[in-house]
């Protein structure tokens, strides 16, 4: 069997920036085990698989280790490929997902806007070992919260940049990932995201994390439209908006490769 494969860098306007994702259009679903092996072979933060339906596309995402419940950058990359490589001309794309419901993506000029569920984090007690796993940079978080992932707030951007985690220790923490965030120097907020238990030591740009970040910073800053950077080595830029129980994330994408997989 031959399967098309594309790779795009999401939340960036330049190659080798943002977050790379593989995208595989399918005529019908492969066995889960096969999709997981393809994702492991690709060794990217996410590989997206989709099948066309009567009303849009059914979309699933796999890290090298497991199927994930929600992924923003791979959804943006998938929409980019559908629009630019597969000839789609509709005003928006509807993605049906396993656990995140219906996700919408629209295209305006060179930006794609993702319509995702808002997932506000709530305060929790500190997990034993979490701060130690994030490394001793001499900085304590000013707030500790959780939604799907732990969510630690720091005083300033440099505190976030200085975090140097022990990924083996972080993989033992009882969430998929850990978000660290602070007010930005030139944008409303910055963040980083670590998910070594899912095979992603540090994710370059994380849409699912912004489902937590957007409602948190919208409340803290008293405004619903926000500009954000994820300050990983590859860096990513997002234009964000809180709309009730939904969050909008806009970003750009560029195609890196297209080819075929032989299974």
pLDDT of residue 136: 73
Bridging pattern class, strands 67-68 and 56-62? antiparallel
pLDDT of residue 139: 84
Phi, psi angle pair for 244, to nearest 5°: 65, -120
> In the predicted model, what is the mean pLDDT of residues 85-99?
95
Across the chain, what does the average pLDDT equal? Answer: 96
Alpha carbon 204 to chain centroid, angstroms: 8
pLDDT of residue 37: 98
Quick one: three-class SS letters along the chain?
Answer: CEEEEEEEEECCCCCCCCEEEEEEEECCCCCHHHHHHHHHHHCCCEEEEEEEECCEEEEEEECCCCEECCCHHHHHHHHHHHHHCCCCCCCEEEEECCCCCEEEEEEECCEEEEEEECCCCEECCCCCCHHHHCCCCCCCCCEEEECCCEEEECCCHHHHHCCCCCHHHHCCCCCCCEEEEEECCCCCEEEEEEEHHHCEEEECCCHHHHHHHHHHHHHHHCCCEEEEEECCCCCEEEEEEEECCEEEEEECEEEEEEEEEEC
- Residues annotated as catalytic are 46
Residue 189 vs residues 23, 78, 97, 211: alpha-carbon distances, Å: 29, 26, 29, 14
In 3D, which of 24, 59, 60 has the Cα closest to residue 41? 24
Whether the CB-CB separation of 171 and 145 falls below 8 Å is answered with no
For the stretch 27-78, pLDDT in tens is 999 999 999 999 999 999 999 999 999 999 999 999 999 999 999 999 999 9
pLDDT of residue 101: 92
For the stretch 14-40, pLDDT in tens is 999 999 999 999 999 999 999 999 999
> In the predicted model, what is the mean pLDDT of residues 138-160?
94
Phi, psi angle pair for 8, to nearest 5°: -135, 150
For the stretch 221-250, pLDDT in tens is 999 999 999 999 999 999 999 999 999 999
Q: Which tokens hold the place of 109?
A: 């000029």
Whether the CB-CB separation of 196 and 167 falls below 8 Å is answered with yes
pLDDT of residue 128: 79
> In the predicted model, what is the mean pLDDT of residues 177-204?
96
Confidence class for position 13, pLDDT limits 50, 70, 90? very high
| Whole-angstrom distance, CA of residue 51 vs CA of residue 19 | 23
Measured at the CA of 258, the angle between CA 210 and CA 9, to 5 degrees, comes to 25
pLDDT of residue 219: 98
Phi, psi angle pair for 84, to nearest 5°: -95, -25
pLDDT of residue 126: 83
pTM reported for the whole predicted model: 0.93
For the stretch 93-136, pLDDT in tens is 999 999 899 999 999 999 999 999 999 999 999 877 999 999 87
> In the predicted model, what is the mean pLDDT of residues 147-153?
96
Whether the CB-CB separation of 105 and 113 falls below 8 Å is answered with yes
Whether the CB-CB separation of 58 and 51 falls below 8 Å is answered with yes
pLDDT of residue 138: 73
Angle formed by the axes of helices 207-221 and 72-84, nearest 10°: 110
């Amino acid at each position: 069997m031959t399967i098309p494969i594309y790779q795009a860098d999401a939340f960036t306007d330049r190659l080798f920036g943002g977050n790379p994702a593989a995208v595989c259009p399918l005529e019908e679903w492969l066995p889960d085990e096969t999709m997981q092996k393809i994702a492991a072979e690709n060794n990217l933060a996410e590989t997206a698989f989709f099948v066309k339906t009567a009303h849009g596309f059914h979309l699933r995402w796999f890290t090298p280790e497991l199927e994930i419940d929600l992924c923003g950058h791979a959804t943006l990359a998938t929409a980019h490929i559908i629009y630019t490589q597969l000839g789609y001309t509709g005003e928006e794309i509807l993605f049906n997902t396993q656990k995140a419901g219906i996700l919408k993506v629209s295209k305006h000029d060179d930006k794609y806007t993702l319509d995702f569920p808002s997932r506000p984090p709530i305060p929790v007690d500190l997990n034993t070992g979490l701060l130690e796993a994030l490394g001793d940079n001499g900085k304590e978080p000013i707030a500790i919260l959780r939604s799907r992932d732990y969510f630690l707030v720091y005083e300033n951007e440099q505190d976030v940049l200085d975090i140097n985690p022990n990924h083996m220790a972080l993989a033992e923490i009882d969430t998929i990932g850990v978000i660290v965030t602070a007010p930005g120097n030139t944008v409303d907020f910055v963040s980083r995201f670590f998910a070594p238990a899912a095979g992603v030591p540090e994710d370059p740009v994380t849409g699912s994390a912004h489902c937590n970040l957007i409602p948190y910073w919208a409340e803290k800053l008293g405004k619903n439209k926000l500009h954000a950077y994820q300050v990983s080595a590859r860096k990513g830029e997002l234009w964000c908006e809180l709309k009730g129980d939904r969050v909008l994330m806009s970003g750009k994408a560029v195609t890196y490769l297209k080819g075929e997989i032989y299974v």
